[in-house]
Structure 1
Amino acid sequence: MSALTPHLLARIEAHGPMTVADFMTEALLHPEHGYYTTRDPLGAAGDFTTAPEISQMFGELIGLALAQAWLDQGAPSPFTLAELGPGRGTLMADILRATRQVPGFHAAAKVHLAEASPTLRAKQQELVGDATWHSSIDTLPAQPLFLVANEFFDALPIRQFLRADTGWHERMITFRDGALTFALGPELPQPDLEHRLADTVPDQIVETCAPALAVCDRIGASIQTHGGVALLIDYGGWTSLGDTLQALQNHAPADPLAAPGTADLTAHVDFEALAKAAPCAHADLTPQGVFLERLGITQRAQSLASHLSGEALKSHIAAHRRLTHPQEMGNLFMVLALFPKGAPPPPGCLT
């Protein structure tokens, strides 16, 4: 039993079963025992490794893609260079290093980071330096927005619904014999899922994520009004189907209910819902490997490899493969680009 478990059991006893979304929020962000509020989850000593931590090439190419999109839209000044969920700050540091030689880019850029974890904010301060931190995207400036969100949306709290004949049972979390367990709420109509009755059958699960839709509505409205681009990079697919809630601890799958607050909790991203929520244009959903190849990652990898040998070269080759190969992150992770209607899509993305 984790330190957070008694708190959750007491809450359920007092108020009844909780939604999966409420459970995820408590497990990840509880002020004393939440996963993200108490630790640095990244790297070999943590629970997972993200693309920017695997190779500098990822952040470099993202940075140059954002810089080219900025140039394509007339090089507005000033503009917001933002990241949602920046981890240790590695991605933004690589973006800034790669774009240092782009004329006017740094002079016009104002860096803004949206981060809920005090532990990670401190690490971001060390790597990025001069930036403004936000707890919510609602406080980002009203100006052109060039934004990246890598493995941000997968950690936002989801709700789960089990299809019945004509309605939906919400999947809830309760307890039995002192342990957390899943249960089903009563069958009810869900107006927001009415359209999913046509492409599902009874006993299938559909997941929704209202916070993700709110974020995309805000980002899309800003981009449509003021200009800019957003690159949303995560694992998932075009439409939600099935139970994708998962826990990761020590780089291995874990039971999401076994020890809340000690493991990372995520779910696959419904990119169709994100695209529909954003009141701006969007590019075709693109596999990460294809996106990076279009940006020239193989040429960059060859250039870096020419200065390496031995174990460093082997590690570099493995990193390139992990980011791009279809059987690794290349097809697991997807890229959705948002941009103003009438503007060209950012490099690496097609419509």
Structure 2
Amino acid sequence: MSSLTFSKITHCLVGRNGLRLLIHGRSYCTKLKENKIMKGLMNKIKATGPLTVADYMREVLTSPSEGYYMTRDVFGQEGDFITSPEISQMFGEMIGIWFVDEWMKNKSPSPVQLVELGPGRGTLADDILRVFKNFQEINESVSLHMVEISPALAQIQIEKLTGENLTSEQSSKLTDGYNSGLSDLETNDSSEKISKHYYQCKTKYGINAYWYKLLHDVPQEHSLYLAHEFFDALPICKFQKTADKGWCEICIVPGSTPNTTGYLRHIKPGDKREHIEVAPYSGMIILQIAERIKQNGGCALIADYGHNGDKTDTLRSFKQHRLHDVLCDPGTADLTADVDFSFFRHLCLSTKSISSFGPVTQREFLQNMGIHLRLKMLMQGKDQATKKTLISGFDMITNPEKMGDRFKFFTMLQKKDYDDPPSGFNNLSFQIPVR
């Protein structure tokens, strides 16, 4: 299959304002700062030729020594972007209520796992566990399982969930566990260790929590899966439709690629887009979650930037809360691409065992879950400064001109005999009394 040179289609990736390349050891980025990742990318291109956009993203974001997510806290005002859980506690509380509702609908199975992919600072999990604390049955049945590839972020999450800074001994335990990739458990064959959690602790709510590098390592149990702003950071492949060769994969340098046929199978013949992004790694995780739900029960809730199969070029970079050149200073800025929820829906349909609903906007989901009622409850008896903060956070995460319509919610459930959407994906049929 054919591929395109980055130089011919740079406008598809980073805009039309100038040529910015990583090719044959040269860059035309005016803000270039050479670093280890830059050197590694140039050496790889020289040695093996074509570098796909997916390969570029994976190296820039998760390279063990210099990857963007691997060594720093990238969230909040001091980082490069801020997320809904950091803005308002109500965001996590509504998600917590959603999980409790789905768990109860499934006859409250025990034990149950809350599994979060890419847990950020741990704020969202902390808010959800605080909700669970108000429901004795789930609080006594649940364990927390965090899938986190960054040891730096894992430490931040641990400290958030325990309410304590790690001691030097605990920090060493985290580092050693992460580097070994092995748990203390062994199989019956004493010479063979199994890959499992790399850290374990008890949260301030008394719930056992575990950290893993891969979803594959999380135990097979009835699970509540959560992915908030996770899939948008996974590598994507980019394809451009050409007049002479049809669909071609965009690469950093010329070369052939086998991805074109396989990755575009879900694209309908009548699709009029000239540029398409496909996330194969996201697809593999969606299928893995689907199989786990099929085998063990549970549900998944996904919240992210996204569209319904109609957008084209969405890859972009953020640094210090501003748009940044995708190819400049790799490893120092976030890379993100909108999630194609139509791709997720296609994968769920292909399993014949999983129902999916959505996407709906974040505003719709939160309103359907009764966030406005929660706001009224929180404001009772509060001073003016606290009320102002609560209202500001509410506005930021629900206003359609801010985060309200920018983010979408999508859910995966075991296939049922009925097609009614779950809570959050339709309007509330009752009003929750304000206490």
Asked whether the two chains share a fold, i.e. TM above 0.5, the reply is yes
1:220 match: 290
SS in 1 for 2:410: strand
SS in 2 for 1:38: coil
1:242 aligns with 2:312: yes
What secondary structure sits across from 1:331 in the alignment?
Answer: coil
Aligned partner of 1:190 among 239, 261, 277? 261
On the 8 A contact 1:88/1:123 being kept in 2, the answer is yes
Aligned pairs for 1:59-78 (under 5 A) are: 59-78=92-111
Per the alignment, residue 180 of structure 1 pairs with none
Superposition pairs for residues 302-317 of structure 1, below 5 Å? Answer: 302-317=376-391
CA distance in 2, matches of 1:333, 1:60: 17
* Cα offsets for 1:195-252 (capped at 9, x unmatched): 53624447x2101111111111111111122211110000111115311111000001
Question: What letter matches 2:261 in structure 1?
Answer: Q
Supply the distance in 1 between the matched residues of 2:81 and 2:34 (Cα, whole angstroms): 20
The code of the aligned residue for 1:167 comes to G
1:1-351 equivalences in 2 (<5 Å): 1-3=33-35, 4-128=37-161, 129=203, 130-165=208-243, 167-174=246-253, 190-194=261-265, 196=267, 198-201=269-272, 204-239=274-309, 241-278=311-348, 279=351, 280-342=354-416, 345-350=421-426
Distance 1:189 1:138, change over 3 A: closer
| Contact 1:28/1:35, CA 8 A, preserved across alignment | yes
Greater CA deviation, 252-261 or 221-230?
221-230
Task: Give the letter for the 2:247 counterpart.
Answer: W
SS of residue in 2 equivalent to 1:285: strand
Q: Distance in 1 between matches of 2:64 and 2:78?
A: 22
Give distance in 2, aligned partners of 1:19 and 1:186: 9
Name the CA distance, whole Å, in 2 between partners of 1:253 and 1:184.
30
Corresponding letter in the other structure for 1:68:
D
Give the drift of 1:187. Answer: 11
**How far off its partner does 1:307 sit?**
3.6
Name whichever structure is richer in strand by fraction.
1
Q: CA 1:186 to 1:108, structure 2 compared with 1: closer, same or farther past 3 Å?
A: closer
SS at match of 1:196: coil
Equivalent-residue separation in structure 1 for 2:259 and 2:57 (angstroms): 23
Q: Deviations over 1:43-74 (max 9, x none)?
A: 01000011110110011110111011101100
In structure 2, do the counterparts of structure 1 residues 127 and 157 end up closer, same or farther at CA, with 3 Å as the change threshold? same
Counterpart residue type for residue 196 of structure 1: I
Alpha-carbon distance change, 194 to 38 in structure 1, aligned in 2, over 3 angstroms: same
> SS of the residue aligned with 1:75?
coil
**Code of the aligned partner of 1:113:** M
% identical aligned pairs = 36
Q: TM-score, normalised by structure 1?
A: 0.92
**Alpha-carbon shift at residue 314 of structure 1 (Å):** 2.3
Unaligned runs of 5+ in 1: 175-182
The count of corresponding residues between Structure 1 and Structure 2 is 342
TM-score (ref. length: structure 2): 0.75
Decide whether the 8 Å contact of 1:81 with 1:145 is kept in 2.
yes
Shift in alpha-carbon separation, 1:341–1:350, aligned structure 2, 3 A: farther
Aligned residue identity for 2:424? G
Paired residues of 1:20 and 1:172 also in contact (CA < 8 A): yes
Mean Cα deviation higher: 265-274 or 139-148: 139-148
User: CA offset at residue 17 of structure 1?
Assistant: 2.8
AA partner of residue 190 (structure 1):
T
8 Å contact from structure 1 (residues 76, 144) kept in 2: yes
TM-fit CA distance, 1:2: 4.2
Residue type at the aligned position of 1:170: E
SS in structure 2 of the partner of residue 327 of structure 1:
coil
- Match of 1:37, SS state, is coil
Q: 1:34 to 1:71 in 2, by over 3 A?
A: same
CA distance in 1, matches of 2:257, 2:284: 27
User: How far apart are the structure 1 equivalents of 2:111 and 2:259?
Assistant: 49
SS at match of 2:103: helix
- Counterpart of 2:389 in structure 1: which amino acid? S
